[in-house]
Amino acid sequence: MKTLAKYIDDYSKKYSCYLNLKAIQDRKIERNEQIIKTAERSIERAKKSKNNIYHPRWIKILENIAKEMLQYFPEGYTSEILGPFGIGSKTSIWIKNPDWNINNDIKYKAPQLYSFEVSPDLTNNTFYKVDNDINTGEYAKGTIGEVNGLNHPEIAIVNTTTIKELIEMYYPNYFKK
């Protein structure tokens, strides 16, 4: 015949087992929470580090091209990058006499400003020459397309183009002086 002690003893064993299993799960939870905290700190450090990674600017390509171009222009001329502007990110390289300004252009016999307008397509690693001499009229006057210069066709600049050839694309008679 079972006594009350037997029922209490069975319960005590089950309860002890329950407490052991619960303690094991608590340790697993604690260990996993610590792993999560460590991972969260690691993620935060990685995010901060990611924000400090230098993002190359495509304008730097044009700055380097402009520096190279200077060797083909009179001594003392400087380069300047203007842009990007508008939907097409049109950007100009200006090679100019440092004394030049729009108001005194008439004083000089030789051009004082050479402008090279390009539009990037970095998805395809290409720049385009904007042909401002042609107006397709595709976009009506005053529309966003017209204001952003989308009426002017673009001609791909081949990646094997030399700096001298690039200058000739814009100023065909420059080297025929």
Condensed to tens digits (0 to 9), the pLDDT of residues 31-76 reads: 999 999 999 999 999 999 999 998 888 899 999 999 999 999 999 9
Pair (24, 43) in one structural domain:
yes
Pair (22, 75) in one structural domain:
no
Higher pLDDT, 125 or 106: 125
CA distance linking residue 16 with residue 108, whole number of Å: 101
Pair (78, 152) in one structural domain:
yes
Pair (69, 48) in one structural domain:
no
When pLDDT is cut at 50, 70 and 90, the band that residue 107 belongs to is: low
CA distance linking residue 138 with residue 29, whole number of Å: 66
Tokens of 92: 């100009």
Pair (45, 67) in one structural domain:
no
Pair (109, 139) in one structural domain:
yes
The pTM score is 0.68
Q: What is the pLDDT of residues 134-155, one digit of tens each?
A: 999 999 999 999 998 899 999 9
Pair (66, 138) in one structural domain:
yes
Give residue 163's identity as a one-letter amino acid code: I
Pair (44, 76) in one structural domain:
no
6 pLDDT higher than 60: yes
Pair (8, 65) in one structural domain:
no
Provide the number of structural domains found in the chain.
Answer: 2
Percent of the chain with pLDDT over 70: 94
Is the distance from CB of 100 to CB of 112 less than 8 angstroms? yes
Mean model confidence pLDDT for the chain: 90
Pair (5, 85) in one structural domain:
no
What pLDDT, on the 0 to 100 scale, is given for residue 108?
56
Task: Show which of 33, 53, 73 is a domain's final residue.
Answer: 53
Higher pLDDT, 110 or 136: 136
Pair (28, 93) in one structural domain:
no
Tokens of 146: 């017209």
What pLDDT, on the 0 to 100 scale, is given for residue 42?
97
Mean pLDDT value across residues 107-127:
82
Task: Show which of 53, 72, 90 is a domain's final residue.
Answer: 53
Pair (46, 88) in one structural domain:
no
103 pLDDT higher than 70: no
Task: Show which of 53, 78, 93 is a domain's final residue.
Answer: 53
Q: Which residue range is the domain that position 163 belongs to?
A: 59-176
